[in-house]
Structure 1
Amino acid sequence: MDKQRTLASSASLKGTALHTGENVTLTVRPAPVGHGFKFKRIDLPDEPVVDAKVESVKTVERATTLVEGSVKIHTVEHVISALAGLGVDNALIEMDANEPPIGDGSAAAYVALIKEAGIVEQDAPRSYFTPREPISVQVGDSILTILPDTKFRVSCTQVGPEGRFTQYLSAEITPDFYETEIAPARTFVFYEDVKPLMDKGLIRGGSLENAIVARGDSVLSKEPLRFPDEFVRHKILDIVGDLALSGRRLRGHIVAVKPGHGPNTELARALVKRHSDYVAMAPTPIAAEGGVLDVNEIMRTLPHRYPFLMVDRIIELVEDTRAVGVKAVTINEPYFQGHFPGHPVMPGVLQVEAMAQVASVVMMRRTENIGKIGYFMSADSVKFRKPVFPGDTLFIHCEMLSAKKRLGKAACRCEVNGEVVSEGELLFGLVDK
Structure 2
Amino acid sequence: MQSTIADVVAFSGKGLHTGASVRMEIHPASGNHGIVFRRIDLPGEPEIPALAEFVSTTKRGTTIAKGEASVSTIEHIMATLFACGIDNALIKINGPEVPIMDGSAEEFAGLIYKTGVKKLDKPRKSYTPRKEIHYKDDSSEAEIRIIPAKDYSIDLEIDFNSDIIGRQRAHFDQTSDFLKDIAPCRTFVFLEDVMPLLKSNLIKGGDIDNAIVIADKEIPNEEKEYLKSAHPEIFTSDIKRGYINTSGLRCENECARHKLLDILGDLSLVGIPINARIEAKKSGHSINTIVAKIMRNDLMESGAIPQYDPNKEPVVDINGIKKLLPHRPPFLMVDRISEMSENVVVGIKTIGINEGYFIGHFPDEPVMPGVLILETMAQVGGILVLNGVDEPEKYSTYFAKIDKVKFKKKVVPGDVLVIKMVLTQPLRRSIVCMRGEVYVGNTLVCEGEMVAQVIKNKE
- Please say whether Structure 1 and Structure 2 have the same fold, judged by a TM-score greater than 0.5: yes
What's the CA shift string for 1:25-83, capped at 9, x where partnerless? 11111011111111111111211111111111111012001111111111111111110
Please tell me whether the aligned partners of residues 29 and 93 of structure 1 are also in contact (alpha carbons under 8 angstroms): yes
Please report how far the alpha carbon of residue 5 of structure 1 lies from its aligned counterpart in structure 2 after TM superposition: 1.1
Aligned equivalent of 2:289: 265
Please report how far the alpha carbon of residue 164 of structure 1 lies from its aligned counterpart in structure 2 after TM superposition: 4.9
Aligned equivalent of 1:86: 84
Residue 130 (str. 1) matches residue 128 (str. 2): yes
Aligned equivalent of 2:116: 118
CA distance in 2, matches of 1:109, 1:7: 16
- Secondary structure at the aligned position of 2:186 is classed as coil
- Secondary structure at the aligned position of 1:214 is classed as strand
Q: 2:270 aligns with which of 240, 246, 250?
A: 246
TM-aligned CA distance change 1:151 to 1:200, over 3 Å = farther
In terms of fraction of residues, the more strand-rich structure is: 1
TM-aligned CA distance change 1:155 to 1:47, over 3 Å = same
CA distance in 2, matches of 1:148, 1:130: 6
Please tell me whether the aligned partners of residues 164 and 242 of structure 2 are also in contact (alpha carbons under 8 angstroms): no
Residue 106 (str. 1) matches residue 104 (str. 2): yes
What's the CA shift string for 1:237-277, capped at 9, x where partnerless? 00010011111211111100100000000010110122233
Please tell me whether the aligned partners of residues 106 and 184 of structure 2 are also in contact (alpha carbons under 8 angstroms): yes
Please report how far the alpha carbon of residue 330 of structure 1 lies from its aligned counterpart in structure 2 after TM superposition: 8.4
Aligned equivalent of 2:18: 20
- Secondary structure at the aligned position of 1:279 is classed as coil
What's the CA shift string for 1:327-346, capped at 9, x where partnerless? x998589xxxxxxxxxxxxx
CA distance in 2, matches of 1:49, 1:175: 34
Please report how far the alpha carbon of residue 114 of structure 1 lies from its aligned counterpart in structure 2 after TM superposition: 1.1
Aligned length: 293
Aligned equivalent of 1:77: 75
Aligned equivalent of 1:210: 210
Structure 1 segment 157-306 matched on structure 2, within 5 A? 157-162=157-162, 164-174=164-174, 177-199=177-199, 202-216=202-216, 218-279=242-303
- Secondary structure at the aligned position of 1:61 is classed as coil
CA distance in 2, matches of 1:60, 1:172: 23
What's the CA shift string for 1:339-361, capped at 9, x where partnerless? xxxxxxxxxxxxxxxxxxxxxxx
- Secondary structure at the aligned position of 1:14 is classed as strand
Aligned Cα RMSD in Å? 2.6
Aligned residue identity for 1:261: H
Please tell me whether the aligned partners of residues 144 and 267 of structure 1 are also in contact (alpha carbons under 8 angstroms): yes
Please tell me whether the aligned partners of residues 130 and 298 of structure 2 are also in contact (alpha carbons under 8 angstroms): no
- Secondary structure at the aligned position of 1:125 is classed as coil
Please report how far the alpha carbon of residue 182 of structure 1 lies from its aligned counterpart in structure 2 after TM superposition: 0.8
TM-score, length-normalised on structure 1?
0.63
Residue 391 (str. 1) matches residue 418 (str. 2): yes
After the TM superposition, which of the residue ranges 169-178 and 148-157 deviates more from structure 2? 169-178
TM-aligned CA distance change 1:112 to 1:162, over 3 Å = closer
Q: Which structure has the larger Rg?
A: 2
CA distance in 2, matches of 1:188, 1:226: 12
TM-aligned CA distance change 1:14 to 1:185, over 3 Å = same
Structure 1 segment 1-16 matched on structure 2, within 5 A? 3-16=1-14
CA distance in 1, matches of 2:9, 2:300: 35
Please tell me whether the aligned partners of residues 152 and 173 of structure 1 are also in contact (alpha carbons under 8 angstroms): yes
TM-aligned CA distance change 1:20 to 1:201, over 3 Å = same
TM-score, length-normalised on structure 2?
0.60
CA distance in 1, matches of 2:64, 2:51: 8
Aligned equivalent of 1:296: none
Please report how far the alpha carbon of residue 101 of structure 1 lies from its aligned counterpart in structure 2 after TM superposition: 1.0
Please report how far the alpha carbon of residue 199 of structure 1 lies from its aligned counterpart in structure 2 after TM superposition: 4.9
Please tell me whether the aligned partners of residues 85 and 175 of structure 1 are also in contact (alpha carbons under 8 angstroms): no
CA distance in 2, matches of 1:21, 1:111: 22
Aligned equivalent of 1:40: 38
Identity %: 35
- Secondary structure at the aligned position of 1:250 is classed as coil
TM-aligned CA distance change 1:122 to 1:159, over 3 Å = same
Please report how far the alpha carbon of residue 133 of structure 1 lies from its aligned counterpart in structure 2 after TM superposition: 2.2
TM-aligned CA distance change 1:120 to 1:180, over 3 Å = same
After the TM superposition, which of the residue ranges 163-172 and 133-142 deviates more from structure 2? 163-172
Please report how far the alpha carbon of residue 122 of structure 1 lies from its aligned counterpart in structure 2 after TM superposition: 1.1
Aligned residue identity for 1:224: G
Please report how far the alpha carbon of residue 169 of structure 1 lies from its aligned counterpart in structure 2 after TM superposition: 3.1
Give structure 1 stretches of 5+ with no counterpart: 282-327, 334-388, 394-416, 418-433
Please tell me whether the aligned partners of residues 145 and 256 of structure 1 are also in contact (alpha carbons under 8 angstroms): yes
Please tell me whether the aligned partners of residues 86 and 179 of structure 1 are also in contact (alpha carbons under 8 angstroms): no
Please report how far the alpha carbon of residue 99 of structure 1 lies from its aligned counterpart in structure 2 after TM superposition: 0.7
Please tell me whether the aligned partners of residues 63 and 77 of structure 1 are also in contact (alpha carbons under 8 angstroms): yes
After the TM superposition, which of the residue ranges 155-164 and 137-146 deviates more from structure 2? 155-164
Please report how far the alpha carbon of residue 201 of structure 1 lies from its aligned counterpart in structure 2 after TM superposition: 5.1
Please tell me whether the aligned partners of residues 153 and 171 of structure 1 are also in contact (alpha carbons under 8 angstroms): yes
TM-aligned CA distance change 1:124 to 1:166, over 3 Å = farther
Runs of 4+ in 1 over 4 A off after TM superposition: 161-164, 328-333
CA distance in 2, matches of 1:35, 1:9: 16
CA distance in 2, matches of 1:280, 1:150: 18
Residue 51 (str. 1) matches residue 78 (str. 2): no
- Secondary structure at the aligned position of 2:2 is classed as strand
TM-aligned CA distance change 1:222 to 1:26, over 3 Å = farther
TM-aligned CA distance change 1:149 to 1:199, over 3 Å = farther
